[in-house]
Chain A
């Protein structure tokens, strides 16, 4: 069974850097065709894809946020880390990690399953 869980601070101040960790089980990010994504959702609003990291360390970012985002594999083999610099109240959202679907021998860009999400509030 594949599961993912997000962890990190619930509150950050404007201009600070947010670091979130996705801890997963049921698959290995060292295995071909495994990829993990970060997606966020401001309160009452729609979903916004942020970044993806692949088993071979390939990385993809939302273009408009690329200068502020870094996705990486964690120090533990079952973790992925997202950092967001220069946080702003507009970054207040529930942040989700999700595995990419698998299409043949590649990962694709639908998301299944998702973690439960973590609400991050940006406020002084």
Chain B
């Protein structure tokens, strides 16, 4: 049984570009949450998807958007990248609001 997977593992972009990160949830899970973890900090909640809808959103600008597909996988899109967007982006899956299990993350570097 595969756990949560994310792709790509690493990504380098320049300011102003756009990026798409992908997440496949653990088998049997229907909810995907995205978090941003800056170096030396705790993860910060970006948003959560359930039944292909954004159910909750953290304090992130509209440049951050997402999508959930019928197979429960999810994408995180970030437009007009800023240097401050450099971070580890973590996806977590759960069954409803039950225990969240994290993927390995995508490390994004914006130059």
**Co-assembled chains A and B:** no
Instruction: List chain A positions with a Cβ less than 8 A from chain B.
Output: none
Instruction: List chain B positions with a Cβ less than 8 A from chain A.
Output: none
